[in-house]
Amino acid sequence: MLPGQLPETGDVLALAQSENFTVAARVLPYRIRQHLMAVYGFARLVDYAGDEACGPRERLLDLLESDLARVYDGTPRIPLMRAFAPTVHECGIPREVPARLIIANRRDQHVRRYETFEDLLDYCAYAANPVGELVLHVFGRADPELTVLSDRICSALQILEHSQDVAEDYRRGRVYVPAEDLRDFGCDESEFAGGTASNELRALVWFEVDRAVSMLRAGQPLVARLSGLSRLAVAGYVAGGLATARAFRPAGYDPLAVGVRPRRARILGEWVRLSLAPARGRDDRTRRAYEYCERITREQARNFSYGIRLLPPTKRRALSAVYAFARLVDDIGDGTASTEDKLVRLQRARDSLRNVHQDAKDPVLVALADARRRLPVPLEAFHELIDGCEADVRGNSYETFEELVHYCRCVAGSIGRLSLGVFGQRVTGVAAERADALGVALQLTNILRDLLEDRRSGRIYLPRQDLRRFGVRLDLDRRGEFTDEESRIAELVRFQGQRAERWYAEGLRLLPMLDHRSRACCAAMAGIYHELLRRITEDPGLVTRSRTSLPGWQKAVVAARSLAGMTS
């Protein structure tokens, strides 16, 4: 195609097959389908001129604007405009409606960022909402009240498309995610050039998709207000939007790593449901937030997930929310950003704990708000977790075992106390002390398991007093292997293992204080780590060679034994 040349009619109309919704369903009468395809052809032609043309786009848009005037005079020259002309005249479409699409594409040539969501909605009023109004004109239903509902649907569909195409838009030099949202989630637009999304970016995408779903639900009464063929057609557009939003779930809200596209079967299912029962559906934001947290837990909680599965639904969801926030904090500390940037992001996570409510932007905060409402979850314990992570970022080391225990209480005892609240227990007294002790035991196991990996990352957690006592330096050679005598490291590891056993002995005394399902969950999580510690103390050389772990079948056996009431 030559610079400045417009595409062939057939090439434009063929793109209808790749849309998130059915443009012109075959169940509609032929004449209606013709009108809908004419509307689609016009809108797509304008988008091509503004988005994809390799020549002077402003001149192409001038050409389309001139030919749109000819549509109303009866003398259009461009084939897709000639196809659009009968629709304009038969359906009584005012010129300013299609003209707004050209205005939107002119804006795209100069405006490449949007500061606020209100700014983005103003753009959608030109780039998306006119299409819905054109469709209403096709069915003779373009009255003001219905147009308001249509605008909500069309803006939602546009936002979903922006969320799908963040990487593609960024390559074109455009960012349609509001800058205020990027800042709120601690994201930088440069992340759109990456191959996978961070947890912060995934949370941002969840928020944009969730907001679009709420807008679809707000516009859904339009389907109920219509009847016959118009209801069928508009229900199809809403169904495509809902199916697209759902397609983000299996993708983990990561449009950088996975192409997000709705399944046809899902679109059809939503379409049938809306057509038969078009009343406004339940807009359960909390449910969607929990689903987001549970996915993070399934994908990233390699050991905890075995125990979490044993809980009843309410507690399982709540503990997934706790894990998701803890994962966010851990990922900041373990990431590749600078020390200064990590500390800023950790402070942002700390500040976010003041905004744990149903209307929060972040799905994890939405889920935590519901968990706190249902269960005595001490969210203030997250501040200790962040304290520990900040210590990691600053490169703190520990002279004595008592100093190390304080660190363990921050990063793991806090999770033990949060879990105790999820189990429905008051986080006070002996129960809180034992939950804290169990967390320390698990963290000491982590430290031994990750001895080589942490050292390669520049971290040494074992107390300097103990290193001197056993004559160990934990220096690395050029291959990244320990230079100390293996027998000395083995003695050190067994000594630390014995210490951890004493913390397990105290922490496991929590189990009789819990209900059966909570006890099974706690026993499974502790049992997996306890078994890992036993393997390490039996063969300390494991931690000098690589990061060791239990095979999946053994973790499953531990979980099954825990459910049956058999502790490790």
Per residue in 270-308, pLDDT tens?
A: 888 887 766 544 458 899 999 999 999 988 877 677 788
Least confident of 44-58, 441-455, 547-561: 547-561
Domain interval for residue 293: 289-563
Element (H, E) at 532: helix 516-538
Residue 40 domain-assigned (yes or no): no
CA gap 163, 375 in Å, rounded: 34
Question: Length of the chain in residues, anyone?
Answer: 568
Rounded to a whole number of angstroms, the distance between the first and last alpha carbons of the chain is: 70
Average pLDDT, the chain: 91
In the prediction, which pLDDT does 348 show? Answer: 94
Is the model's pLDDT at 2 over the cut of 50?
no
- Specify whether the backbone of 458 is left (phi greater than 0), alpha (psi in -120 to 50) or beta: left
Residue 18 domain-assigned (yes or no): no
In the prediction, which pLDDT does 568 show? Answer: 47
In the prediction, which pLDDT does 564 show? Answer: 58
CATH number at residue 305: 1.10.600.10
CA gap 357, 373 in Å, rounded: 10
CA gap 59, 96 in Å, rounded: 20
Per residue in 498-527, pLDDT tens?
A: 999 999 999 999 999 999 999 999 998 888
Full-model pTM: 0.83
Closest by CA to 335, choosing from 233, 535, 186, 205, is 186
Residue 424 domain-assigned (yes or no): yes
Least confident of 24-28, 128-132, 276-280, 482-486: 276-280
Q: What is the 3-state secondary structure (H, E, C) of 266-302?
A: HHHHHHHHHHHCCCCCCCCHHHHHHHHHHHHHHHHCC
Per residue in 398-438, pLDDT tens?
A: 999 999 999 999 999 999 999 999 999 999 999 999 999 99
Place of tokens 């498309």: 161
Residue 363 domain-assigned (yes or no): yes
Residue 534 domain-assigned (yes or no): yes
Least confident of 96-110, 141-155, 270-284, 365-379: 270-284
Q: What is the dihedral of CA 308, 314, 320, 323, to 10 degrees?
A: -90
Residue 360 domain-assigned (yes or no): yes
Burial environment of residue 538 by CB neighbours within 10 A (0 to 12, 13 to 18, 19 or more): exposed
In the prediction, which pLDDT does 335 show? Answer: 87
Closest by CA to 186, choosing from 201, 172, 174, 207, is 201
Per residue in 84-94, pLDDT tens?
A: 999 999 999 99
Residue 311 domain-assigned (yes or no): yes
Residue 112 domain-assigned (yes or no): no
Per-residue pLDDT band at 26 (split at 50, 70, 90) = confident
Q: How far is CA 113 from CA 57, 178, 280, in A?
A: 19, 7, 33
**Rg value, the chain, Cα:** 29
- Per-residue pLDDT averaged across 460-482, rounded? 95
Is the model's pLDDT at 562 over the cut of 60?
no
In the prediction, which pLDDT does 202 show? Answer: 95
For the chain, the domain total comes to: 1
CA gap 86, 70 in Å, rounded: 12
In the prediction, which pLDDT does 56 show? Answer: 84
